[in-house]
Amino acid sequence: METILLIHGSLRWIVAVLLIATLIGGIIVFLRKSTIPILRWIVLSGVIVTSLQLVLGGILLIYDSIQANWDMKALRYQYEHAFGMVIALGVVHLLPRAFRAPTVQQQSIRLIGLAIVAIALVGWSVIRLRGLSYWLPFIAG
């Protein structure tokens, strides 16, 4: 389980980079009014990595639940984290649909909006799991 936890924890940074790259790419497309070919690859990579992240998190949650004899109070934050991440994954899975919009401007607006929502959900879910005091040293440097 240590290895799965390490991979799960490391993937969060890849997810964060891909979501931020999607947001920045959407802004660039909006400003340039033309597509960026690599943006589709970034979005699809984000979907794949976030899906893998959720599967690994699910394995960890089931393992921890068994270890805690399914005591919901003991794993409250883990369940809240999982719930938030399921919603975030749903939003991430909507990102590729943005490319179906009829114009480049509409594509970029959809990408920007969905990326902001996904980043907010992932951020809330991750910060909620450990508490803000745990994350402040990472932010402050």
- pLDDT score for 128: 72
Structural domains in the chain (count): 1
Question: What average pLDDT does the structure give for the chain?
Answer: 87
| Cα distance between residue 101 and residue 110, in whole Å | 8
> Which structural domain range is residue 89 located in?
2-140
Taking alpha carbons only, the member of 97, 79, 87 closest to residue 119 is 87
Most confident segment among 33-42, 77-86, 131-140: 33-42
Predicted TM-score of the model (pTM): 0.84
Name which residue leads in pLDDT, 44 or 71: 44
The burial class, CB within 10 Å (0-12 / 13-18 / 19+), for 29 is: buried
